[in-house]
Amino acid sequence: MKKVLTSLLFFSIQIGLYANDGVFLARGNQLIPVFETDVSLRKEILEIKKVDDKIIQVDVRYEIFNSSEEKDITIGFEALSPNGDVNATPVKGKHPYIHDFAVKFNDVNLPFKIAYVHDSLYAQSGEIRSTPLNEILGSITDVNYVDFFYVYYFTANVKPGLNVIEHKYNYDISSSVEYHYYFEYVLTAANRWANRQIDDFRMILDMGSYEDFYISKSFFQNDNFWKLNGKGNYSVVSEEVDLEQSPELLNFRIHSGTIEYSQKNFKPTGELFLFSKNLISYDGYFDYKIHQLPFSYHQQYNVQLPVDEISKEIILALPYARRGFVFNDKIIQRYYESTVWYIPDPDYKIDFESLTGKEKEWLEEMKQ
């Protein structure tokens, strides 16, 4: 058998967002070959799910095609260290904010090792050169910024023909003053396969119910590749974003369900970047004539106290407006019709018990 070194690379695209009083914890990436040239990426199904507004779950299935003989390959997952107002020290030798890392190759669970490296030249002559963990720990002088990154790696026996890799991990969600949450997934690395593309690419994003978020049009131009599996809407917007990304964005308002991006012969030229903006008000009060209310109930605690009685009534109506209730009060109805996320549902009846626990607690507080 021939020994070949392969790697899952995390391209270090540093963006201004992380310096904006933010916390960068981790990001996702592609599985790619470094030296192997005859293995093609036939199909990829990438599932990304936000859980409890705290965790990003990544579940990826790759179908790769080996056109030559059977061989062992070393596959590596490269993870940048966290930075910002956060402790970047390894926890039991692992990345402190990546959890439940697992890989299955052709239905067999594989063990993995972790290397600590300082640059992209760690893989040479078929070996991964790692700095000992005790030296890494001894070199840390500022826990907020460290000068190494991680390589999770494992060995897989690749058969001729089609092989399947299933990869899972979770990571803590990143945030900043401006952004409630954000995450990036590197797509362009897929161009390193022999076919220089993903023959059949499918990405499923599940951000939860009643969520308002943006996706940069950095890796696509045709909006028709997107499909909404559920209830919601979206629009194209242009905003100044402190990122090395396209200024044109898709703003999704998801009442329920998932969104999906599918494309054949996918040759990504940019990365997935998704974020939700914080509701920031510097006035210190809510006036329905000038202020907007958040669609996401995760941001309802940013709502300021009402300036008058009608503003309070509009605030108290928010959980039911999310569900499409049609209000008899013309002022309340006009207010919610002016939002981009409101979808009227004449069949919906107000039901306090159907609200989420967080909505119930917030509503009781706002009634006082």
Asked whether the predicted pLDDT for residue 138 surpasses 90, the reply is: yes
Asked whether the predicted pLDDT for residue 246 surpasses 90, the reply is: no
Domain that holds residue 319: 297-367
Query: Which residues lie across from 102 on neighbouring strands?
Result: 168
Q: What is the pLDDT of residue 241?
A: 54
Measure Cα distances from 295 to 120, 260, 288, 350 in Å: 42, 21, 15, 17
Asked whether the predicted pLDDT for residue 63 surpasses 90, the reply is: yes
Whether 323 and 273 share a structural domain: no
Q: Is residue 286 part of a domain?
A: no
Looking at the chain, the whole-number percentage of residues with pLDDT higher than 90 is 62
- 187-224, pLDDT tens digit by residue? 988 887 889 999 999 999 999 999 999 999 999 988 99
Looking at the chain, the whole-number percentage of residues with pLDDT higher than 70 is 88
DSSP 318: H
**If you average pLDDT over residues 69-74, what whole number do you get?**
87
Under the banding of pLDDT at 50, 70 and 90, the label for residue 9 is very low
Q: What is the pLDDT of residue 184?
A: 86
Whether 307 and 272 share a structural domain: no
**Token pair for residue 346?**
């004449």
Asked whether the predicted pLDDT for residue 318 surpasses 80, the reply is: yes
Residues near 244 by Cβ (< 8 Å), separated by ≥ 6? Answer: 13, 15, 16
Q: Is residue 145 part of a domain?
A: yes
Q: Is residue 283 part of a domain?
A: no
Query: Which residues lie across from 109 on neighbouring strands?
Result: 104
Query: Which residues lie across from 28 on neighbouring strands?
Result: 185
Q: What angle do CA 24, 30, 31 make, to 5 degrees?
A: 130
Asked whether the predicted pLDDT for residue 302 surpasses 80, the reply is: yes
Whether 261 and 317 share a structural domain: no
CATH, residue 308: 1.20.58.1690
Whether 11 and 123 share a structural domain: yes
Asked whether the predicted pLDDT for residue 168 surpasses 70, the reply is: yes
**If you average pLDDT over residues 329-334, what whole number do you get?**
98
Q: Are strands 71-79 and 161-172 parallel, antiparallel or unpaired?
A: unpaired
Helix locations, the chain, DSSP H: 133-139, 309-316, 318-322, 330-337, 357-367
Q: Is residue 211 part of a domain?
A: yes
Residue pair 45/204 in contact (Cβ under 8 Å)? The answer is yes
Whether 159 and 108 share a structural domain: yes
Whether 199 and 302 share a structural domain: no
Asked whether the predicted pLDDT for residue 359 surpasses 80, the reply is: yes
Residue pair 147/82 in contact (Cβ under 8 Å)? The answer is no
Q: Is residue 291 part of a domain?
A: no
Phi-psi region of 210 (alpha: psi -120 to 50; beta: other; left: phi over 0): left
Closest C-alpha to 74, from 192, 155, 167? 155
- Domain boundary among the residues 219, 245, 277 is at 277
Whether 238 and 312 share a structural domain: no
Q: Is residue 290 part of a domain?
A: no
Residues near 331 by Cβ (< 8 Å), separated by ≥ 6? Answer: 288, 310, 314
CATH, residue 252: 2.60.40.3680
CA 49 – CA 23 distance, rounded (Å): 20
- The per-type count for the chain, helices as H runs and strands as E runs, is 5, 20
Whether 263 and 309 share a structural domain: no
Q: What is the pLDDT of residue 194?
A: 85
Q: Is residue 289 part of a domain?
A: no
**If you average pLDDT over residues 275-298, what whole number do you get?**
89
Whether 273 and 301 share a structural domain: no
Domain count, the chain: 2
Q: Is residue 225 part of a domain?
A: yes
Q: What is the pLDDT of residue 82?
A: 84
Instruction: Provide the CA 159 distance to its chain's centre, in angstroms.
Output: 32
Helix (H) or strand (E) holding 266: strand 248-266
pTM: 0.87
Whether 228 and 358 share a structural domain: no
Q: What angle do CA 225, 245, 88 make, to 5 degrees?
A: 110
**Token pair for residue 15?**
């963006």
- Domain boundary among the residues 277, 308, 325 is at 277
Look-up of token digits 């989420």: 356
Closest C-alpha to 176, from 284, 79, 278? 278
Whether 224 and 105 share a structural domain: yes
How many alpha carbons fall within 13 Å on the CB side of residue 305?
Answer: 4
Q: How far apart are the first and last CA of the chain?
A: 73
Phi-psi region of 3 (alpha: psi -120 to 50; beta: other; left: phi over 0): beta
